[in-house]
């Protein structure tokens, strides 16, 4: 596993301590635990206003952002909110796959001097579609150390997309699953345009085997309050498979 040590020397002020939720109706920020925060933005999906989650971590050496807002009007308000709330700057951003709800702000944040990261697979997909790309490319699973925190990226296999990764904070047992992981609020698997349905269950089990039982699991969309989202994702995948088998049998019998 590749180790990346990020040494960022900044004049750091004491973070503003708060547990209140911030919201401007287009952007909401909620404390997950300790220095971990979930930010949520919205877009219209299947005719409904639909939430998309990202996460940021406040460290002594700056703020780590995971994924970008889905709503492009919230790229700067998120930075402003972080600065106001914690008196800190975002210093790095990692995209967990190539869809716009993860990568939409990469170009914007790059222009702000923020180091942006994605995997080689994600970069290839973005390049092929002439979409926003990160400045730095991860060649494989990578461990980052920044300030007092360390975390790792992990590719368990294909699922929601060919390139989806998760991010694991071992000490705090926080798993950021992104769109590979479905919220317990979800009734279906969502956008399957780039999905590998057959590989997806194996990928989820690889993650469970690798990291055990997390204390917090953050899905890409909807509620992140439950720690059972990995099992719920497997349940939805099983239901999808059973429905397809039923439809196939009915088609054969017609």
pLDDT in tens, the chain (254 residues): 545 444 333 323 323 233 345 556 899 999 999 999 999 999 998 888 999 999 999 999 999 999 999 999 999 999 999 999 999 999 999 999 999 999 999 999 999 999 999 999 999 999 999 999 999 999 999 999 999 999 999 999 999 999 999 999 999 999 999 999 999 999 999 999 999 999 999 999 999 999 999 999 999 999 999 999 999 999 999 999 998 887 777 777 77
- Tokens linked to 87: 């008196």
Place of tokens 């106001």: 84
* CATH architecture assigned to 2-253: 4-Layer Sandwich (3.60)
Cα(211)–Cα(74) distance, integer angstroms: 32
Q: Which residues are catalytically annotated?
A: 97, 99, 101, 160, 191
Domains in the chain: boundaries: 2-253
In contact, 39 and 71? CB cutoff 8 Å: no
In contact, 117 and 138? CB cutoff 8 Å: yes
């Amino acid at each position: 596993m590749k180790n990346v040590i990020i040494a960022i020397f900044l004049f750091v002020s004491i973070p503003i301590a708060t547990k209140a939720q911030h919201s401007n109706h287009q952007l909401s920020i909620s404390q997950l635990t300790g220095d971990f925060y979930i930010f949520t933005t919205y877009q219209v999906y299947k005719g409904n206003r639909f939430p998309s989650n990202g996460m940021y971590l406040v460290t002594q050496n700056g703020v780590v952002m995971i994924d970008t807002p889905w709503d492009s009007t919230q790229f700067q308000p998120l930075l402003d909110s972080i600065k106001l709330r914690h008196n800190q700057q975002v210093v790095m951003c990692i995209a967990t796959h190539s869809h716009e709800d993860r990568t939409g702000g990469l170009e914007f944040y790059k222009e702000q001097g923020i180091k942006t990261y994605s995997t080689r697979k994600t970069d290839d997909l973005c390049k092929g579609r002439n979409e926003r790309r990160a400045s730095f490319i991860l060649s494989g699973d990578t461990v980052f150390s920044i300030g007092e925190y360390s975390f790792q990226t992990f590719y368990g296999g294909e699922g929601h997309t060919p390139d989806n990764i998760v991010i694991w904070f071992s000490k705090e047992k926080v798993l950021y699953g992104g769109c590979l992981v479905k919220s317990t609020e979800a009734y279906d698997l969502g956008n399957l345009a780039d999905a590998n349905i057959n590989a997806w269950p194996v990928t989820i089990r690889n993650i469970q085997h690798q990291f055990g039982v997390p204390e917090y699991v953050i899905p890409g969309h909807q509620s992140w309050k439950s720690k059972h989202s990995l099992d719920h994702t497997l349940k939805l995948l099983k239901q999808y498979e059973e429905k397809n088998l039923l439809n196939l049998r009915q088609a054969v019998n017609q």
